[in-house]
Structure 1
Amino acid sequence: MTVQSIGDQARAFAMQAASNRIKTTLATLTAELSSGEVADLGARLQGNTQDLAGIEARLAMLTQFKSNAAEAAAHTQGMQNALTSVQSINEDIGQGLYLEPEATTEGLMAARSAEAASAFQAVIGHLNGTVGQRFLFSGAHSDTRPLASADTILTALTAQVAGLTTAGDVAQAVSDWFDAAPGTGGFADTAYHGGPGGQSTPIGEETTITLTTTALSPAIRDSLKGLATAAMLDRGALAGNGTEARTLLQGAGKALLQNSPRLVAEMSRLGYAQQVIATAQTEGNAASATLQTARNTLREADPMATAAAISDAETKLQTLYSVIGRLSQLKLVNYL
């Protein structure tokens, strides 16, 4: 009879390899039980990982859409807040100018004009606001401040109205400068430094948001026009002509009040954009939750089966240690 045996050192290596193998299995099973996910997805899915890859790709896309929607929501809210402030300023200044009594003194008219100049500067500040280091009313050029300073604009207008002696001529000169086409040296060239509006941003799988409002939009430009017209008295226009000065202020106030509905319409467009963004965010969150559930189903480890496998591995390890202990007690003298 042939007896096959291995030496003590070889047996020790064999026992150590078996121990390491069981310990590795035990560590893997413990990790699966704690994380709830299987360690070997390929074996779990029998090599068919196409569905899981598709789910992961769609989740990554939805994550990007979620980021775009959050950025668009913050941007539109910032624009809405700015226009709300501009609307409030226009109404206050417009009513004060338009409803001023006929017997207003030159000193009071000068104060009203200075107030309009201060309001003009405040409006410029609101329109030059930022959210997340992006300018709100610069259109596609969101990294560029949309408007020049109030002083720069009023200085350019002062040159336009120099020498004019009637309220109608001053108001017309200011209006022509604000409405001048690009390339003719008016507001679009001297004061506005942003880009065109209308750039689309995807915020959902089938939803994009397009913001067309910029500081060059007619409703915003007309608000600036009305305030700048009233501020011309503070810059020396119509000096010494109280009747024409009063006419100019009242005309500027009337223009501001008449522009109020257009500003409200601009705010309504932003409000609709905000509604679209909120809907896209809700739909995206629901789709993400569904896909995450499907992904977890494919990747999850059965806790009962995993616990049973851990118990089996512990038993094997204990048995191996018992065998090693028994073998370590064998002596040649006892064998003889």
Structure 2
Amino acid sequence: MTEVRVGDLAQGFLFRRQAVQLRTELSARGQELSTGRAADLTDRLSGDTARLAALDREVALAATLRRNQAQAANRSAAMQAALGRVQSATEPLATTLRSAAAGGLAGELAAAGSAARGAFEDTVGALNQSTAGRSLFAGAATTGPALAGADAMLDTLRAEIGAETEAAGVAQIVEDWFAPGGGFDSSGYLGADSPASPVPLGGGDQAALDIRADAPALRQVLAASALATLAADAALNLPEDTVRALFDTAAEGLGSAGPQLIGLRADLGAEEARIERAGARIEASAGGARRARASLIEVDGYEAATRMEALSQKLESLYAVTARLSRLTLLETIR
């Protein structure tokens, strides 16, 4: 019978423990090789993980700011496009109204009225646009349209005008309705009196996208195009002289609103530039944080592969020695 000695048993345990340690380390090196980052961050950082935690927070904050910046960029671009649509719809209208008022035939007056209605509807449609489910020009009330429908406002104005046929009277009714505190505030503008919240962009910077559909320039554009529309309205059937006079008044209103509208777009353009600069700053900050984080946790692929190869050879050698010892007999020992 072969005698089992305590030394042999202890040696077997030692070999098995070494094999487990080598397999564990080999698995860790394989993980590092596949992921490119240290398997044991606590050991890699000598237990000091505060710097890594700070960098993780910086990267997460940059991601949030990037989302804010992207949303602000999309919103400002949509607002700029909407204001451009208003400008494109109303700028040529002033010329059309002046030409018709100067001596156009009845058909030209009707055509100018139709053009005015189209411009009014386009303006209302542009100011009622939304992006990402948020109304663009309704201030803090971002869940609904900024304005009542074009037909609804024209119906209200038509009822206000009633039997008035004098150009001065009709113009005053429309002007009063669109003036602050008038009917436009109660039933035309549906948004909030407070502006939309500014968008934080980090570093104490923020984007103020606070243009509302009740801004003075937009009130004037709406009032002028609505006046020209109603001047040629068949239901009101105003005298031709009144129509011509109202066309002149509306053209004058559109002319004075033009520079104000350009000013609104210029202010918005300044915010767009601020948002673009913030995007570059946020990306630079995020890139620096990512690089610093990578320097803490990433491993060299060549070094990881070399260590993995060395561990594989060690493990193979240990298995070979273990196998050889398990086959030893007295005869092989004394040879």
TM-score if structure 2 supplies the norm length? 0.91
Query: Cα distance, 1:305 vs. partner?
Result: 4.3
SS of the residue 2:86 aligns to = helix
Q: Equivalences for 1:126-275 in 2 at 5 Å?
A: 126-181=126-181, 186-195=183-192, 196-197=194-195, 199-236=197-234, 239-275=237-273
Give the equivalent residue in structure 2 for 1:54. Answer: 54
Which position in structure 1 is the counterpart of 2:291? 293
Question: What is the CA-CA distance between 1:65 and the residue it aligns to?
Answer: 0.8
Farther-moved stretch of structure 1 (129-138 vs 221-230): 129-138
Would the aligned equivalents of 2:100 and 2:108 in 1 still touch at CA under 8 Å?
no
Question: Which of the residues 4, 7, 18 maps onto 1:5?
Answer: 7
Alignment deviations for residues 26-82 of structure 1 (CA, whole Å, 9 cap, x no partner): 121122133332111111111111111111111111111111011000001001011
Segments of 5+ residues of structure 2 without an aligned counterpart are: none
Residue 99 of structure 1 aligns to a residue whose secondary structure is helix
Letter in structure 1 aligned against 2:319: Y
**Aligned-pair Cα RMSD in Å:** 2.3
Shift of 1:5: 3.1
Matched, 1:280 2:282: no
Q: Aligned-pair distance for 1:323? A: 1.8
For structure 1, the residue ranges without an aligned partner over 5 or more in a row are: none
**8 A Cα contact 2:100 2:109, kept in partner:** no
Secondary structure of residue in 1 paired with 2:207 = strand
Read off the aligned partner of 1:26 and give its amino acid letter: L
CA gap of 1:206–1:116, structure 2 versus 1, over 3 A, is: same
Does the 8 Å contact 2:134/2:143 carry over to 1?
yes
CA contact (8 A) 1:29 1:309 kept: yes
Contact 2:98 2:251 in 1 (8 A): yes
CA contact (8 A) 2:101 2:244 kept: no
Q: Aligned residue for 1:69? A: 69
Residue type of the alignment partner of 2:156: A
Mapped partners of 2:54, 2:237: distance in 1: 74
**Counterpart in 1 of 2:29?**
29
Structure 2 CA distance, aligned partners of 1:332 and 1:105?
Answer: 127
Q: How does 1:313-324 map to 2 (within 5 A)?
A: 313-324=311-322
Q: Secondary structure at the match of 2:208?
A: strand
Deviates more, 1:161-170 or 1:111-120: 111-120
Q: Which residue of 2 aligns with 1:117?
A: 117
Match of 1:88 in 2: 88
Deviates more, 1:219-228 or 1:296-305: 296-305
**In 2: Cα distance, 1:180 partner to 1:156 partner:** 17
Mapped partners of 1:334, 1:311: distance in 2: 32
Q: Deviations over 1:193-251 (max 9, x none)?
A: 11222521101222111122011111111111111001113434762511111100121
Q: CA deviation at 1:302?
A: 4.0
CA shift for structure 1 position 101: 5.3
Aligned partners of 2:65 and 2:202 also within 8 Å: yes
* C-alpha distance in 2 between matches for 1:238 and 1:271: 41
Cα distance in 2 for partners of 1:67, 1:334 equals 74
- Per-residue deviation at 1:100? 2.7
Superimposed CA distance per residue, residues 150-196 of structure 1 (whole angstroms, 9 cap, x where no aligned partner): 10110111111111121111111111001141xx5x11110111122
3-state SS in 1 of match to 2:198? strand
Stretch of structure 1 that moved more, 320-329 or 50-59: 320-329
Question: How does the TM-score come out when normalised to structure 1?
Answer: 0.91
How far apart are the structure 1 equivalents of 2:238 and 2:161?
15
Counterpart secondary structure, 2:100: coil
Identity, in percent, stands at 32
Could you say if the C-alpha distance between residues 256 and 237 of structure 1 is closer, same or farther in structure 2, counting changes exceeding 3 Å? farther
For 1:158 and 1:17, how far apart are their aligned partners in 2? 94
